Structure 1
Amino acid sequence: MHVSSPSRRSSLTRFLRLSAVLPLVAGSSLTLIGCGEEDKVMVIGHRGASALRPEHTLASYRKAVEDGADVIEPDLVPTKDGVLVARHENEISGTTNVSTLAKFEGRKATKMIDGVSVTGWFTEDFTLAELKELRARERIPAQRPGNVQYNDQFEIPTLAEVINLAKELSDSTGRTIHIAPETKHPTYFQGINLALEDRLITELQANDFSKSEASVYIQSFETTNLKYIREKIGSSQDNWKLMQLIDAAEKAPYDLVKAGDSRIYRDLLTEAGIKEIATYADGVSPYKLNLISVDAAGAFQTPTDVIRIAHDNDLVVHSWTFRPENAFLPAPLKAEGAESTRSEAGSVTEIQKYLEAGLDGFFTDDPAVGRRAVDGFKED
């Protein structure tokens, strides 16, 4: 079994550092972050068990937990009436049947999302009641033909429904199922008066399970909204952990682009960048190739210093995304067959390579495979 690394963050150190630099929310008191779960590798169901069910459906989240996930991840976007729902993107033509419904044909639009022109149907143009008329579909049917059989069976869930499911599954399994909500396109939604941050805080605090029982890993690829959430909650929510998502090194957080800041994600992963992240976040979640790259032949390269530096700054490190299909694996780990062919053994090998480097948690589209990787891992 995985043995906790001595470099894992100290709850006391974290407490003292944040209490020194952050204002307290009025009427709140500081409490120490529990250290129990930091001692285990977290298997995070990426959009649920999205290798086996259409992503961001209650069926996908349920399957993830059945298959051993410790955490389920809803990507969050708002409806026209301000309700947070779970979708990979606010543009939903690829993940729902909206394009087939004549009554919504006139909702098709072209918008600039984070500087990119996108055409389709957008959650912010539908009320929750209207979105509930839609049904989920498999987003990448070429890679996951088996999921097509579930098309048009499942609703779009709200964040409240995801929290309630996590509570239900915690009760039925006897283990706490944690939640990792990601705020999608926060700068864009701030610009159209549908800001995510306060809505997320309110929703999480409205349910005792997410308010005080489960760990909640609040994620963003942008930096400004995480800083806003930290300022808003101070240290009042010791079970909420802010996670700075890091995309491919050459890309950039859109809030920095919008502000004219020239930094890219590579800059956030320098020692100075990680030290800055540690002033407002509890962890970093870099794209996996920022931690261990592969060469043109698919061979793993020497791990970077990112995990070590993050641990030295009391940050947990998650990474993404580990998928079992050939299309997503380095060449040496692929199984014989088409790009849609599953290589579970290859995925286990890939995950364990990152566990060797000291990873604290990882996103997988197939939590059963992720659980096998963790349970079979022996740390030197």
Structure 2
Amino acid sequence: MRCIAVCLLLATLPTILSANGPVIDYGPRPAYLIDKLPDGALKSKLQSCAGQTPAKSDFSISHRGAPLLFPEHTVESNVAAARMGAGILECDVTFTKDLELVCRHAQNDLHTTTDILVSDLAGTCMTPFTPADGDTPAAAECRTSDLTLAEFQTLTPKMDSADKTATTAEAYQGGVADWRTNLYSDDAHLMTHTESIALFKNLGAKFTPELKSPAVKMPFNGFSQADFAQKLIDEYKAAGIPASDVWAQSFNLEDVLYWIGNEPEFGEQAVYLVDHYRIGGFDPQNSDSWPLPLASYAQQGVQFIAPPLWILLTTENGQMVPSEWAKHARAAGLNIITWTLERSGPLASGGGWYFQTVSDVITHDGAVFEVLDVLAQDVGVVGVFSDWPATTTYYANCMGL
């Protein structure tokens, strides 16, 4: 596999690393959020850790790098996450036309995460750019599976966004949320999956690749879902990465069961990303609405399960507490990871989708720490994905996680 700009960047990493990896720095955000907390035990505890030496933590898991400010799944985004102490870094894995694995959140997101629509590869898009017209928003769809690896590597990443009111492809490149920025988008670099492994290893981090659901019908050019799942694992084995450093993820339970059955060392830490919320009528407080008892996953060999954070929380008497779903998961002996903090922008209005079961008590940005505290101390999660890992790292360091 070709390695061009990313390999050159990897060669420079010794100049930015200490002997044990990058120098960890929280930056100003954790202190800013602590200042927003109401007076009380949590605020006092977090303030007491202001002078602590920042340290890497596996409790702090980066979500696509640090996409609050950096283009997701880029070298720069992951270096930033490692510098914020994320002990585990993520590559969402999909494949190209010539069946090479690359880091993208979805196989069909190139129109919002790269410059493809204003490049020479615009003609490869499954749905070419269509301008907004009256009440009809602008649209496009561009897939990695329509590009060779060499073509993919010519693209320039950008902050995930789209201006749905645009009448030109150039204008469609905008639409960045006002709580994000383009300040760190210049000269960012895409990654293949193998390049992400080399980068994360050099950063002293562990690995949580997610096998993304293909946008194309499988098998694709003879490449089956099992082939896809196996190729992901094979790239860690080829790089000499121990299975104990890898948490392979999938929303497809069959992928997780494939790893458990065919790559049992990697299967021990395979993570089932729970999508129960997609089921009509699902209620984390009502077990009758769940597709299966949570103990059934453990019975199939699943040891790690990862729902969105709102499934794990509810409120009682104006306080955040674990949901019934969370209690059942713990009772089943499942290790719980959750997602995603720092993805919702300012929290004064309830926090949106990720906080929907506790929105009535989410009234200020400091609530990020209140949520973290309940997840860690009461739910008992073993890791938290974040778009800005410094906050989670600070909490983990302060609480000895």
The TM-score, its normalising length taken from structure 1, stands at: 0.71
Report the CA distance shift for 1:250/1:131 in structure 2 as closer, same or farther (over 3 A).
Answer: closer
Report the CA distance shift for 1:306/1:263 in structure 2 as closer, same or farther (over 3 A).
Answer: closer
Structure 1 contact 54–147 (Cα < 8 Å) conserved:
no
Report the CA distance shift for 1:190/1:152 in structure 2 as closer, same or farther (over 3 A).
Answer: farther
Report the CA distance shift for 1:290/1:146 in structure 2 as closer, same or farther (over 3 A).
Answer: closer
Structure 1 contact 47–61 (Cα < 8 Å) conserved:
yes
Output the CA distance in 2 between the equivalents of 1:136 and 1:334.
34
Map 1:50-199 to 2 at 5 A: 50-91=67-108, 92-101=110-119, 103-110=120-127, 119-140=140-161, 142-143=176-177, 146-170=180-204, 177-186=205-214, 188=216, 190-192=218-220, 193-194=222-223, 195=225, 196-199=228-231
3-state DSSP class of the match of 1:133? coil
CA RMSD of aligned residues (A): 3.3
Q: Following TM superposition, by how much is the alpha carbon of 1:187 offset from its aligned partner in structure 2, in angstroms?
A: 8.2
Q: Deviations over 1:140-180 (max 9, x none)?
A: 4543555312335222201111111111111xxxxxx1111
Among 248, 252, 264, the residue aligned to 1:218 = 248
Q: Which residue of 2 aligns with 1:362?
A: 384
Q: Which residue of 1 aligns with 2:393?
A: 371
2:348 is equivalent to residue 318 of structure 1:
no
3-state DSSP class of the match of 2:337? strand
Output the CA distance in 2 between the equivalents of 1:351 and 1:203.
33
Structure 2 contact 101–193 (Cα < 8 Å) conserved:
yes
Q: Following TM superposition, by how much is the alpha carbon of 1:346 offset from its aligned partner in structure 2, in angstroms?
A: 2.9
2:367 is equivalent to residue 346 of structure 1:
yes
2:295 is equivalent to residue 275 of structure 1:
yes
Report the CA distance shift for 1:124/1:152 in structure 2 as closer, same or farther (over 3 A).
Answer: farther
Tell me the amino acid that sits aligned with residue 74 of structure 1. Answer: C
Equivalent pairs: percent with the same residue?
23
Report the CA distance shift for 1:354/1:181 in structure 2 as closer, same or farther (over 3 A).
Answer: same
3-state DSSP class of the match of 1:70? strand
Unmatched segments (≥5 aa) in structure 1: 1-39, 112-117, 171-176, 253-261, 336-342
Output the CA distance in 2 between the equivalents of 1:187 and 1:268.
31
Q: Which residue of 1 aligns with 2:232?
A: 200
3-state DSSP class of the match of 1:197? helix
Structure 2 contact 107–215 (Cα < 8 Å) conserved:
no
Tell me the amino acid that sits aligned with residue 355 of structure 1. Answer: A
Q: Which residue of 2 aligns with 1:232?
A: 262
Q: Deviations over 1:190-218 (max 9, x none)?
A: 34244321211211211112xx1751111
Q: Following TM superposition, by how much is the alpha carbon of 1:378 offset from its aligned partner in structure 2, in angstroms?
A: 7.9
Report the CA distance shift for 1:66/1:74 in structure 2 as closer, same or farther (over 3 A).
Answer: same
Structure 1 contact 221–246 (Cα < 8 Å) conserved:
yes
Report the CA distance shift for 1:268/1:320 in structure 2 as closer, same or farther (over 3 A).
Answer: farther
Unmatched segments (≥5 aa) in structure 2: 1-56, 129-138, 162-174
Structure 2 contact 95–102 (Cα < 8 Å) conserved:
yes
Q: Which residue of 1 aligns with 2:60?
A: 43
Structure 1 contact 96–152 (Cα < 8 Å) conserved:
no
Q: Deviations over 1:293-341 (max 9, x none)?
A: 369xxx6554223344333433210011111621646465455xxxxxx
Q: Following TM superposition, by how much is the alpha carbon of 1:119 offset from its aligned partner in structure 2, in angstroms?
A: 4.3
Q: Following TM superposition, by how much is the alpha carbon of 1:275 offset from its aligned partner in structure 2, in angstroms?
A: 2.2
Output the CA distance in 2 between the equivalents of 1:301 and 1:334.
13
Structure label with greater radius of gyration? 2
Q: Following TM superposition, by how much is the alpha carbon of 1:58 offset from its aligned partner in structure 2, in angstroms?
A: 1.1
3-state DSSP class of the match of 1:149? coil
Tell me the amino acid that sits aligned with residue 165 of structure 1. Answer: L
Output the CA distance in 1 between the equivalents of 2:277 and 2:287.
8
Output the CA distance in 2 between the equivalents of 1:191 and 1:294.
45
Tell me the amino acid that sits aligned with residue 139 of structure 1. Answer: D
Tell me the amino acid that sits aligned with residue 95 of structure 2. Answer: P
Output the CA distance in 2 between the equivalents of 1:360 and 1:369.
16
Structure 1 contact 51–323 (Cα < 8 Å) conserved:
yes
Output the CA distance in 1 between the equivalents of 2:234 and 2:391.
34
Q: Deviations over 1:12-33 (max 9, x none)?
A: xxxxxxxxxxxxxxxxxxxxxx
2:339 is equivalent to residue 309 of structure 1:
no
